[in-house]
């Protein structure tokens, strides 16, 4: 009997975290390109050439790198694992299918003001900020038909339920990004902000939407497109998710 008890406790400890489900959402995909940027690159012979970079590709690369880092600890899923069109509703519905505990949406910014740069972390909440409304208008594109306007009462209910956890998650991730990338890559910390992003509202989970940098900034796009930088960025987000999880009150082990 004692052996069985020991085995059960061992199993509970060994699988700690595996019951915790993280859904990572690479923004856009397929015919939804997201932001587009032209960068100048140099080939092996020193000749410069320009290449189009799409937000949908960068979000997928980064989401896969984050998944790789947390896969061993948590049950991790992606809302898409290749270049295909997925509606905001389909992304959010997947959160129910996999019973996600967290929803992490990955995006990149773009602005007519080419000097704009840096990263920002959003959690679902009401606000009156005009600059944030511009970001929402871009990322909320892609809702189907009648769902173009989502019931504000529904959004308020989700906010009520998720805002304390989402803020903690945003903080855990953002602090890491600032510490690991801010100084090293001279990235501007644009802060943790409230935002009304449909994909977060529809997922009904604690979650964040991270705008990982500006494709429209000629200097920043070079960093965003580099493998080394992407690895650092993914690590900071993954570590932030783990930190958030480690601070959650743990379920008690079964008592015999
Ligand atoms: Zn986006």
pLDDT digits (tens, 9 = 90+) for 98-146: 999 999 999 999 998 999 999 999 999 999 999 999 999 888 886 655 5
pLDDT at 164: 96
Res. 254: pLDDT tops 70: no
Non-local CB neighbours of 28 within 8 Å, separated by 6+ positions: 34, 54, 55, 56, 59, 107, 142
Q: What is the pLDDT of residue 178?
A: 95
Question: What separation in Å is there between the alpha carbon of 59 and the centre of ligand 1?
Answer: 8
Q: Does residue 15 or residue 23 have the better pLDDT?
A: 23
pTM of the model: 0.88
Spacing, Cα 198 to ligand 1 middle (Å)? 12
Q: What CATH architecture applies to the domain 15-246?
A: 3-Layer(aba) Sandwich (3.40)
pLDDT band at 9 (very low <50, low <70, confident <90, very high): very low
102 Cβ contact partners less than 8 Å away, ≥ 6 residues apart: 21, 22, 23, 169, 205, 206, 207, 241, 244
Report the percentage of the chain scoring pLDDT > 70: 88
C-alpha of residue 35 to centroid of ligand 1, in Å: 7
Residue 164 CA to ligand 1 centre (angstroms): 24
**For residue range 66-90, what is the model confidence (pLDDT) as tens digits?**
999 999 999 999 999 999 999 999 9
Q: Which residues are placed with Cβ below 5 angstroms of ligand 1, an ion? A: 27, 34, 107, 139
Instruction: Dump pLDDT digits (tens) for 183-234.
Output: 888 889 999 999 999 999 999 999 999 999 999 999 999 999 999 999 999 9
Ligand 1: distance of its center to the CA of 252 in Å? Answer: 40
Distance 60 CA to ligand 1 centre (A): 11
CA of 183 to the centre of ligand 1 (A): 25
Is residue 58 within 8 A of residue 108, CB to CB? The reply is: yes
Distance 196 CA to ligand 1 centre (A): 14
Question: Which pair of structure tokens corresponds to residue 10?
Answer: 């061992």
Is the Cβ–Cβ distance between 212 and 219 less than 8 Å?
Answer: no
Cα(26) to centroid(ligand 1), Å? 9
Cα angle 159, 160, 162 (rounded to 5 degrees) comes to: 60
């Amino acid at each position: 009997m004692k052996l069985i008890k020991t085995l059960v406790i061992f199993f509970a400890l060994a699988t700690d975290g595996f019951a915790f489900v993280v859904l990572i959402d690479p923004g856009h995909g397929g015919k939804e390109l997201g932001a587009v940027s032209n960068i100048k690159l140099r080939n092996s012979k020193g000749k410069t050439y320009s290449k189009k970079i799409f937000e949908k590709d960068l979000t997928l690369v980064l989401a896969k790198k984050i998944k790789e880092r947390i896969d061993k600890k948590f049950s991790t899923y992606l809302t898409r694992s290749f270049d295909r069109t997925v509606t905001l509703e389909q992304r959010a519905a997947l959160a129910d299918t996999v019973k996600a505990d967290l929803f992490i949406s990955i995006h990149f910014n773009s602005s007519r003001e080419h000097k704009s740069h840096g990263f920002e972390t959003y959690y679902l909440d009401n606000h009156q900020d005009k600059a944030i409304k511009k970001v929402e208008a871009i990322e909320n594109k892609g809702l189907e038909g009648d769902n173009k306007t989502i019931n504000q009462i529904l959004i308020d209910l989700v906010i009520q339920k998720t805002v304390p956890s989402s803020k903690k998650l945003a903080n855990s991730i953002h602090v890491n990004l600032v510490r690991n990338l801010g100084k090293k890559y001279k990235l501007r910390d644009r802060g943790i902000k409230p935002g009304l992003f449909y994909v977060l509202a529809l997922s009904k989970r604690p979650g964040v939407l991270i705008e990982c940098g500006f494709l429209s900034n000629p200097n920043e796009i070079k960093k965003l497109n580099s493998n080394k930088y992407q690895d650092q960025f993914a690590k900071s987000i993954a570590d932030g998710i783990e930190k958030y999880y480690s601070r959650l009150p743990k379920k008690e082990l079964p008592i015999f």
